[in-house]
Structure 1
Amino acid sequence: MLTILDKYILKRYLATFGAMLLMFIPIGIIIDVSEKINKMIENKVPFTDVAIYYYNFTIYFANALFPIFLFLSIIWFTSKLANNTEIIAILGSGISFTRFLKPYIIGASIVSVMVLLMGFYVVPRASEGFNNFRYTYLRSGGKELMAGDNTDVYRQLNDKEFLYVSNYNTESKMAFNFSLEKFEKEKMISKITASRIKWNEKDRTYTLYDYTKRTVGKLGDKIEILPEKKVKFKFELKDLTPVVYIAETLRLDELIDFIDTEKKRGSSNINVYMVVLYKKFSVPVSAFILTIIAVAVSSMKRRGGMGMNLTIGIAVAFGFVFFDKIFGVLAEKSTFSPFLAVWFSNIIFGILAVYLLRNAKR
C-alpha cells in the first residue's frame, strides 16, 4: 500500500525523468541536425525519410543515454528534497532510510520494465531505421560498409555442409571462388566448385560459372564439368554476410534464433551478437543500481548544495557509461567474455551502490 509520501516521491521520480528526456532529446536532435544538414542537402534526402530518421533517432538516443538521464533526474529532485530539509523531516518522523527508498525502487521497477520491453520490441526497429539512414545517406561508401566481412567467407550451413567464397559483392550479388562441401560421418561425399556464383532474383536460383561437381563413390569418383549451370540452394549468400549492425535490429526471439544459426555457421562475430543480447537484460538492471547510488549521493545536504550533487552525479553517470562502452568493445574485438564485459559496469557500480547505501543509512 502506497502512502501519500510514497506517491509524492514516485510522482517526482517519474515526472523528473520524463522532463529530463523531453529536455535533452530536442537538444540531441538539434546537434545532430547541425552536424548532418549539409550531407542531407547534398544527397537530396526526401523530407519523409528525414522525419522517419528523427523519429527513430529519438528512440535510439533515449535508449542509449537512458542511464545518464535517469541518474541525473534522481540527483536533481532528491537534492531539492535534501536542500529543503524534507528528507531530514521524513527520516526524523521515524521512517527508516530503507523504507524511504521504497518509492524509488518502485519507480526504478517501472522504468526497468519499460526499457526491457522497448529493448525487446521497439528499439530494434528504431535501430534498423536509424542505421539504414546513416549508411544510405550520410556515410561515404555506406552501402558497402553496411555489409560484414565479405572476404574469405567460410560458413557451416548445417551438420553436413560447409561453404566457402573468397569474396562476395553485395551490389552485383556475385561471389567468387565458390566451394560447397558435403560430408557424411566425417567423410566427404561431394564437392561443388565454381569460379563465380551469381544470384538470380527472378527465379531465385544461382548461376555457377566453370561449374564442377565431384561425387565420391566406393568404386570411383563421378565428376560433372559444365561452363555454366543453374542450381537451387537453400541458403542465400547475403545471409552469410549480414550487415554490421544486424543484431541491433532483431527482436529478442529473432536475435536468439540468429545467434544460434550463426554459431552453427562458425561466424567470427558471435561476441558482437552476444554483447547485444546480454545488454537487453543488463541495461534495465542498471536502473536499480543507479537509483540507489543517486539517492545515497544526493540525500545528504552538502555545503555545495545541488551543484555539488550534480557534479558527483555527472561524474558517476559518465563513469558508468565509459566502463560499459570500453568493456563492450573489448568483448567484440577480443576473446574477452561478452557476459562479463556487459555486466562488469553493473557489478562494479552495484558494489559501489551497496557501500554508499550503508554510509547513507548511518
Structure 2
Amino acid sequence: MLTILDKYILKRYLATFVTMLAMFVPIGIIVDVSEKINFMIENKVPFLKIAVYYYHFTIYFANNLFPIFLFLSIIWFTSKLANNTEIIAILSSGISFTRFLRPYIIGATLVSIFVLIMGFFVVPVSSEGFNNFRYTYLRTNGQQAMRGDNTDVYRQINDTDFLYVNSYNASSKTAFNFSLEKFDKDKMVSKITASRIQWNPADSTYTMYDYKKRTVGALGDVIVREPEKKTKFGFELEDLTPVIYIAETLTLDKLTAFIDKERARGSSNINIYMVVLYKKFSVPISAFILTIIAVSVSAMKRRGGMGMNLTIGIAIAFGFVFFDKVFGVIAEKTTFSPFIAVWFPNFIFGILAIFLLRNAKR
C-alpha cells in the first residue's frame, strides 16, 4: 500500500523524467534537422516521410539516451527536496533511508518494465524506420551520406555459398553489385553476378538485372548472360541487409531466431547481434542502478547546492555511457565476450551504487 510520501515522491520521479524527455528530445530533433536539411532538400524528400522519420527518431533517440535522462531527472528533483530540507524532515520522522528509497525503486520498476517492452517490440520498428530513411534519402551526389554503414555486405550463407553486395536500399528492397559464389571445398564451382537484385514480396522471388552466371568446368567455363532473370534463392532478404543494423530492427523472438540461424552458419558477426540482444535486458536493469546512485548523490544538502549535485551526476552519467559504448565496441570488433562487455558497466556502477548508498545512510 502506497503512503502519501510514496505517492508524492513517485509522482515527482515520473513527472520529472517525462519533463526531461520533453525538453531534450526537441533539442535532438533540431540538431538532427540542422545536420540533414541539405540532404533532404537535395533529394526532395516528401514532408510526410520526414514527419514519419522524426516520429521514429524520437523513439530511437529517447531509447538510446534514456539512462542519462532518467539519472539527471532524479538528481534534479531529489536535490530540490534536499535543498528545501524535505529529506531531513522525512528522515527525522523516523523513516529510514532504505524506506525512503522505496518509491524510487517502484518508479525504477515502472520505467524498467516500460523500457523492456519498448525494447522488445517498439524500438526495433522505429530503428528500422530510422535507418531506412537514412539509407534511402540521406545522399549527396548519388552517394550515401554515411557510407560504410550500408556498403560491402559479405556473408556466408551456408558451407558452400558466399554472398556479397556493395550497397542496399531498404526502401526498394534492392541490393547493388550482387554476387553469389558457390564452392566445393576450396574450389569455386559457380559464380552469379548482377548489377542489382530486387526482392519480390508477392511470390518471394528475386529479380536480377544484367544477370551473369559462370560455371567452372574441367575443359572450360560456361557463361550465361541475361538482361533480366527472376528466380528463388536459399538466402533471405535480411541477408542483404547491412550488418550494422540488422539486429536493431528485429523484435525479440525474431532476433533470437536470427541469432540461432547465424550461429549455425558460423557467422563472424555473431558478437554484434549478441550485444544487441543482451542490451535489451541490461539497459532496463541500469534504471535501478542509476536510480540508487542518483538518490545517494543528491540526497545530501551540499554547499554548492543543486549545481554541485548536477555536476557530479553528469560526470557519472557520461561515465556510464562511455563504459557502455566502449565495451560494446570491443565486443563487436574482437573476440571479447558480449555478455561480459554488456553487463560490465552495470557491474561496475552497481558496486559504486552500493558504496554510495552505504555512505548516504551514514
Specify the TM-score bucket, using the shorter chain as the normaliser.
0.7 to 0.9
Q: Is the 8 A contact 1:10 1:107 kept in 2?
A: yes
SS in 2 for 1:268: coil
Structure 2: runs of 5 or more not aligned: 169-173
Quickly say closer, same or farther: Cα 1:180–1:296, change in 2 above 3 A. same
**What is the rounded CA distance, in whole Å, between the counterparts of 1:320 and 1:146 in structure 2?**
25
Cα pair distance change 1:11/1:235, threshold 3 Å: same
Residue in 2 aligned with 1:236?
235
1:194 offset after TM fit, Å? 3.4
Letter in 1 for 2:235: E
Partner of 2:190: 193
Measured in 2, the distance between the counterparts of 1:199 and 1:238 equals 11
Deviation at 1:262, TM superposition (A): 1.0
Q: Does 1:179 align with 2:182?
A: yes
Amino acid at match of 2:108: A
Q: With structure 1 as the length reference, what TM-score do the two structures score?
A: 0.85
- 1:215-267 CA distances to partner (integer Å, 9 max, x unpaired)? xxxxxxxx996747989655137543432311100000011111111112222
Q: Distance in 1 between matches of 2:127 and 2:198?
A: 30
What is aligned with 2:171?
Answer: none
Residue type of the alignment partner of 2:346: N
The CA deviation string for residues 135-157 of structure 1, in whole angstroms up to 9 with x for no partner, is 22224533974546435x4332x
Counterpart of 2:162 in structure 1: which amino acid?
Answer: Y
Alpha-carbon spacing, 1:234–1:101, altered in 2? closer, same or farther (3 Å)? same
Contact 1:74 1:295 in 2 (8 A): yes
Distance 2:332 2:289 in 1: 25
- 1:163 maps to 161
Shift in CA distance, 22/172, structure 1 to aligned 2, threshold 3 Å: closer
Aligned equivalents of 2:333 and 2:125: distance in 1?
25
Residue identity opposite 2:80 in structure 1: K
SS in 2 for 1:301: coil
Separation (CA, whole Å) in 2 of partners of 1:112 and 1:17: 13
Q: Which runs of 5+ in 1 are unaligned?
A: 182-187, 215-222
Cα separation, 2, equivalents of 1:23 and 1:330? 32
Asked whether the equivalents of residues 135 and 142 of structure 1 are also in contact (C-alpha less than 8 Å), the reply is: yes
Distance 1:105 1:195 in 2: 58
Matched, 1:211 2:215: yes
Task: Please identify the structure whose Cα radius of gyration is greater.
Answer: 1
Aligned to 1:220: none
Contact 1:16/1:73, CA 8 A, preserved across alignment: yes
Q: RMSD in angstroms over aligned alpha carbons? A: 2.8
Q: Is the CA contact (8 Å cut-off) linking 1:135 and 1:145 kept in structure 2?
A: no
Structure 1 residue identity aligned to 2:156:
Y
Q: Partner residue of 1:30?
A: 30
State the SS of the aligned residue for 1:101: helix
CA contact (8 A) 2:6 2:103 kept: yes
Aligned to 2:348: 348
Question: Relative to structure 1, is the Cα distance of residues 301 and 168 closer, same or farther in structure 2, using a 3 angstrom cutoff?
Answer: closer
In the other structure, the counterpart of 2:303 is 303
Q: Is 1:339 aligned to residue 339 of structure 2?
A: yes
Equivalent-residue separation in structure 2 for 1:33 and 1:199 (angstroms): 32
Q: Secondary structure at the residue paired with 2:213?
A: strand
Deviation at 1:15, TM superposition (A): 0.5
Partner of 2:14: 14
Q: Are the equivalent residues in 1 in contact too, given 2:108–2:288 (CA < 8 A)?
A: yes
Name the aligned partner's letter for residue 239 of structure 2.
L
Partner of 1:219: none
**Cα pair distance change 1:281/1:154, threshold 3 Å:** same
Alpha-carbon offset, residue 40 of structure 1: 1.2
Q: What amino acid does structure 2 have at the position aligned with 1:361?
A: K
TM-score by length of structure 2 reads: 0.85
Deviation at 1:38, TM superposition (A): 1.9
Offset of residue 129 of structure 1: 0.8
Q: Distance in 2 between matches of 1:200 and 1:94?
A: 70
The 1:166–1:42 alpha-carbon spacing in structure 2 relative to 1, beyond 3 Å, is closer
Mapping of residues 270-349 of structure 1, within 5 Å: 270-349=270-349
> What code does the residue aligned with 1:210 have?
R
Q: 1:235 to 1:295 in 2, by over 3 A?
A: same
